[in-house]
Structure 1
Amino acid sequence: MSTAAISNVREVNFDGLVGPTHNYSGLAVGNVASMSHGGLVSNPKEGALQGLLKMKSLMDAGYAQGVLPPQQRPDIGALRDLGFKGSHREVLARAATEAPHLLRAVCSASSMWTANAGTITPSRDAWDSRVHFTPANLQSSFHRYLEPQTTGRVLRAIFHDEQYFAHHPVLPATPDFSDEGAANHTRLCGEHGEPGVHLFVYGRQSFGGERQPARFPARQTLEASQAVARQHGLTEAQTVFAQQHPDAIDAGVFHNDVIAVGNGPVLLYHEMAFLDEEGTLDELRAKMSTPLIPIRVPLDAVSMEDAVASYLFNSQLLSNPDGTMTLVVPSECQEREAVWRTLQGYLLAGNNPISDVIVKDVKQSMRNGGGPACLRLRVVLTDAECAALTGRVLLTDALYGDLTAWVNRHYRDRLAPDDLADPQLAEESLTALDELTQLLQIGSVYPFQLR
């Protein structure tokens, strides 16, 4: 690929819009923030506006920014599949009385964390020169297992042109092929248009393996990561499979992106990120065409408790045209002295490409266990691929204004767990989502629109 062609390739961060039913139900086992905030009152409007403001500020700073819609919630169809009968109002009332945990699950707004939406291989690395997509099955928890079908429709609607985009089926929704998407996948390279090496991080092996976490479940399997790589046609020379440290999972690191973040040639990671740290780095060095730049944060600088509480490693690492990088961190990083000291005195002052730190307030998401990196799905695209996107999904000032007004029209500013049974909330959500698909010009993607 020519130098000009390489320069016409960019990373687009597609952020998930926080949905109208954003609430704190404490559904995610192993996610310390989610479990500790379960039962609190949420503010869906504030959450959506915080996410949009993050997108807008990064767009204004020159980074390409896209938008993905939330899922249809509550998922009353899922409740009907589980035996609840009657009108919408009757189904919600029965679920609230007989199985409130199921009602909370079908109201989850967890699709905002689009890092879990799927795994993407850029056209530069694909055998057929197309961008490849596999939605994650998210089978490890019921509330997320409900997402893949709509996720697949959304991705196919936006990345529709078969000349440029290829879509693969969701992996079998069984524990053996438990797949949590790009939260456990990092592409490392020189420039975005140069060949990349794909680092897949897994928590356990279904067919073999020894070390397993003892306290919390390991959500990603080696077998799932290998299957996605096969779907995308990635070769052994293009892939590295590394096991996440079981002790990190037991400390609340439910996805690898809570303990490591990479972009370009840089891998920023905690000492406890990988079970075989040196072996992982050695294999990356051997397979990358550009020298790897590892930035290791030792345990004595940032404890596991501070890493999980601050989500330092669930930050966005963004490439700048001058070769430097910007780290977008949640405001919680300022609240932990050791973390902020590490950012200022170790990362910014160190011999590495990170030259700037941007602090963003995404507290509504953070209380459910999702930082800046959870909120975005990275898709590397050429100019031609960007031009082939369907819909109005790349953020502009006009789209930001329209989405902000849409949130202010439709979202509540207070939602307690008991409010989830309110049939009016369901009607409000459907009305908002129907309007959103028209605003984004992506067609009918929700179950209620396909009947």
Structure 2
Amino acid sequence: MTSNPTPNPSRKQPAPDLIRGEGSVVEINFDGLIGPSHNYAALSLGNLASARHAGATSRPRAAALQGLAKMRFVMGLGLTQGFLLPLERPDVGFLRGMGFAGTDDQVIARAAAADPRLFAIACSASSMWTANAATVSPAADTADGRCHISAANLSRMAHRSIEHPQTHAQLAIAFADPAFAVHEALPAAFGDEGAANHMRLCSRHDAPGVEIFVFGSDGGSAAGGEEGGRFPARQNRRASEAIARRHGLDSARTVFAAQSQTAIDAGAFHNDVVAVANGPVLFAHEQAFADPARLKADLAAVMPDAVVIEVPASAVSLADAISSYLFNSQLLTLPDGSMALVLPKEAEATPSVRAYLAALVAGNGPIRAAHFVDVRESMQNGGGPACMRLRVVADPARVDPRFLMDSAKADRLERLVETWWPEAIGPADMANPDLWGQVRAARAALLAEVGISV
């Protein structure tokens, strides 16, 4: 893992008309509204929770309501909340590209009958995990003073690799204001998993920060564990470097760190399963990185006031950290300046994690509270609270308001979910044309409700 201490002499000062002062620029958490096709097809190699629940009966209605309840909770902490919409599922365009012809209904029926696995790929609701939607660099970090957002190609998993065209289209609507620069995904040869392998440290959200890109594959060397592991690495170092260049980041404030193959093989398919950052705090498991001492030295060189909270394996094993999703939590700065963790209930139910958190919040450190939320449906498919949100530092007034949440909108969306979302989807339901008619009608009703066509 390395950082480049040489300043970029061509770096420009942020454009004053695009940067707002503290008070208008805030961190907005954009959660993915869980789609009506939420099911347990176990498509993600290396995701142990997903594999454990393969073939189980999912509950899309409960899943979406749990996600909305989490958004309400974060709003209740005094923070700004946004959301992104589920993608079109089944993805008929993808199925046509795979050779199925006819009307939309015929394409769906023929694909379901001919190749159930391929059809499951076209039906995946995995866009609910918006941490993988894109990588975001706030305006304070970039050469042109705009917030840069790059859609992730997610090319290492077939069901996710089909997401980025629809994701990019949605991001381009939500962030159409000139304060943003929205980029298409990188070429598929360079695996990019978005914000799930990206962290940022800063004194405050609207101040210049240090961006940390975590990679598993070096694109040609063994650094970070490229071949021969139990599970494949997903993030390519060259992809991370390309994102940093296109976002115009200061090389002196950009760090590239190799993910530990031990963590990948234990089921940490993304860095956000074993590490999370907020403000000046990096909260991570001691086995998260290939060379943690080097990372600490790199951070100390560029940000001396950075606080690294490293959880030892003697307190919380890697297995417990991953099964509980201790680190796949939202680490948030509250309006009073304190920090809090929003964790899944599974963390509270894991004795080692519960004991560690009790000591953590009782201490004199920056993290002063731990809150537990029920996102069981997401957890069973391999995604916790951090997976479910994309962090964007921006002035909310520059964001398309249709993508911003408030209590009244949450009320309307809850009523819509209760009316339209399927109650359950089991393996035997996957070939049922009535189900897919209901799923498509549910999304159409959602688009009509929010007034967006994507």
Q: Same fold (TM over 0.5)?
A: yes
* Aligned pairs for 1:161-176 within 5 A: 161=177, 163-174=178-189
Q: Deviations 1:174-217 (Å, cap 9, x if unpaired)?
A: 1xx10000000011100111110100000011132343361000
* Counterpart secondary structure, 2:71: helix
Is 1:304 the counterpart of 2:318? The answer is yes
Distance 1:439-1:97 versus aligned 2 partners, 3 A rule: closer
Is 1:285 the counterpart of 2:300? The answer is yes
Q: Which residue of 2 aligns with 1:36?
A: 52
* 1:246 positional shift: 0.4
Q: Which residue of 2 aligns with 1:230?
A: 245
Q: Distance in 2 between matches of 1:31 and 1:401?
A: 33
**Superposition CA RMSD, Å:** 1.7
Partner amino acid, structure 2, of 1:204: S
Q: Which residue of 2 aligns with 1:14?
A: 30
Q: Distance in 1 between matches of 2:411 and 2:342?
A: 23
* Counterpart secondary structure, 1:424: helix
* Aligned pairs for 1:380-395 within 5 A: 380-382=393-395, 386-395=396-405
Q: Which residue of 1 aligns with 2:212?
A: 199
Q: Which residue of 2 aligns with 1:217?
A: 232
Q: Which residue of 1 aligns with 2:440?
A: 430
Q: Distance in 2 between matches of 1:367 and 1:86?
A: 35
Task: Return the TM-score normalized by structure 1.
Answer: 0.94
Q: Which residue of 2 aligns with 1:246?
A: 261
Conserved? CA contact 1:293–1:352, under 8 Å:
no
Conserved? CA contact 1:258–1:308, under 8 Å:
yes
Unmatched 5+ stretches in structure 1: 446-451
Is 1:119 the counterpart of 2:135? The answer is yes
Q: Which residue of 2 aligns with 1:448?
A: none
Alignment length (residue pairs): 436
Q: Distance in 2 between matches of 1:422 and 1:146?
A: 23
* 1:168 positional shift: 1.5
Q: Distance in 1 between matches of 2:204 and 2:141?
A: 13
Is 1:420 the counterpart of 2:436? The answer is no
Quick check: 364-373 or 432-441, which moved more? 432-441
Q: Distance in 2 between matches of 1:7 and 1:406?
A: 33
* Counterpart secondary structure, 1:247: helix
Is 1:46 the counterpart of 2:56? The answer is no
* 1:424 positional shift: 2.4
Conserved? CA contact 1:391–1:440, under 8 Å:
no
Q: Distance in 2 between matches of 1:317 and 1:328?
A: 7
Q: Which residue of 1 aligns with 2:335?
A: 321
* 1:242 positional shift: 0.1
Q: Distance in 1 between matches of 2:22 and 2:38?
A: 40
> Percent identity among equivalent residues?
48
Q: Which residue of 1 aligns with 2:10?
A: none
Q: Which residue of 2 aligns with 1:351?
A: 364
Partner amino acid, structure 2, of 1:216: F
Conserved? CA contact 2:174–2:399, under 8 Å:
yes
Q: Deviations 1:347-406 (Å, cap 9, x if unpaired)?
A: 112331111111000000000000000000000013xxx212224221111101111011
Q: Distance in 2 between matches of 1:65 and 1:4?
A: 19
* 1:4 positional shift: 8.9
* 1:167 positional shift: 1.4
Q: Distance in 2 between matches of 1:422 and 1:83?
A: 21
Q: Distance in 1 between matches of 2:208 and 2:427?
A: 47
4+ residue runs over 3 A deviation: 1-4, 87-90, 209-213
Conserved? CA contact 2:142–2:250, under 8 Å:
no
* 1:441 positional shift: 2.9
Task: Return the TM-score normalized by structure 2.
Answer: 0.93
* 1:430 positional shift: 2.5
Partner amino acid, structure 2, of 1:395: M
Distance 1:13-1:409 versus aligned 2 partners, 3 A rule: same
* 1:91 positional shift: 2.6
Is 1:372 the counterpart of 2:382? The answer is no
Partner amino acid, structure 1, of 2:296: L
Distance 1:191-1:73 versus aligned 2 partners, 3 A rule: same
* Aligned pairs for 1:387-406 within 5 A: 387-406=397-416
Q: Distance in 2 between matches of 1:8 and 1:96?
A: 49
